[in-house]
Amino acid sequence: MRLVYSLIFIVALALIFTSSIKKYSKNFYTIALIIGSGTIIYEIYRLVTDIKLQGFIGEFEKASMKGNFSIAFFLIVMFAGALNPKWKITKKLLSIRAESAILGSIFILPHAIMYLVRFIVKLLNHKPITTLYVIYLIVGLIAFIIMIPLFVTSLKKFRAKMKFADWKKIQRWAYPFYLLVYVHIVLAIFNDKEIDILKLSIYTVLFGGYFILKLIKNSKSTRAIKNI
């Protein structure tokens, strides 16, 4: 359910505060950085003391650590590019697409850093590691590396200095990024002792729906170009 609450929370935040996110984007990046740093500090503390946060704050921290906030922002970026651009909601999401990509990238930092640290700690302590675990970690790392140029070129400062064609070429890497993220998540779910069917279905409907909508949109625009 944490995934559902996180998705609702982030999408509602994006729709209610669209103009504030656009106008005061740096303030939102700072808040995301504070939450991300807090998550990293707490996770390091937890590695040493094994003390667990409880209640709302515990769930909030987990949503940050497990990449739920991040994935919600990336889903906004994805659907902004896949839904009908004439719709009011699409226009709203499109107006904060770059900001959402930046927030998604900031929010994934504690997830990527701390799971990498946990992996190294496991290796050093000779803890059992499954092949599937190593595979989905590598897939996640590749996705993270692809995300870096996507993140940098979403920043206004860098975007303004680039030719549109070069910028577009880099942004095409978003598709393999989304695909790798989906594979990473599915493999992580399959690596659990018990497969969470609800979680698997939610991610599959969202990513599958996105890819279908995108294919329909692309085939429509190819047909329109051919008819000119």
Q: For binding to ligand HEM (CB under 6 A), which residues are involved?
A: 3, 66-68, 70-71, 108, 111-112, 115-116, 137, 140-141, 143-144, 147, 181, 184-185, 188, 199
Comparing CB distances to ligand HEM, the nearer of 68 and 96 is 68
Concatenated DSSP letters for 105-142? HHHHHHHHHHHHHHHHHHHHTT----HHHHHHHHHHHH
Task: Count CA atoms closer than 13 A to 213's CA, side-chain side.
Answer: 14
Which CB, 36 or 140, lies closer to ligand HEM? 140
Q: Give the nearer residue to ligand HEM in terms of CB position, either 16 or 121.
A: 121
Amino acid at 107: F
Angle separating helix axes 97-124 and 88-95, nearest 10 degrees: 60
Give the CB-nearest residue to ligand HEM. 140
- Smallest distance, ligand HEM to C-beta of residue 143, A: 4
From the CB of residue 111, how many other CB atoms can be counted at a distance below 10 Å?
Answer: 23
Residue whose CB is less far from ligand HEM, 83 or 109: 109
Question: How many CB atoms are closer than 10 A to CB 30?
Answer: 12
Q: Which is nearer to ligand HEM, 120 or 216 (CB)?
A: 120
At closest approach, how far in Å is the CB of 138 from ligand HEM? 8
* Nearest-approach distance from CB 173 to ligand HEM, in angstroms: 12
CB of 199: closest distance to ligand HEM in angstroms? Answer: 6
Distance in Å, CB of 60 to ligand HEM, minimum: 14
Which is closer to ligand HEM, CB of 93 or CB of 140? Answer: 140
Tell me 228's DSSP state: -
Shortest CA distance to 11 belongs to which of 114, 141, 104?
Answer: 104
Please state, in angstroms and rounded to a whole number, the distance separating the CA atoms of residues 207 and 210.
5
The CA distance from 175 to 179, in Å, is: 6
**Token pair 């982030």 in the structure block, residue:** 10
In the complex, the smallest distance separating the C-beta of residue 130 from ligand HEM, rounded to whole angstroms, is 11
Minimal distance in Å, beta carbon 8 to ligand HEM?
A: 14
CA 80 to CA 96: how far, in whole Å?
Answer: 9
Query: Toward ligand HEM, which CB reaches closer, 14 or 64?
Result: 64
Cα separation, 148 vs 35, whole angstroms: 20
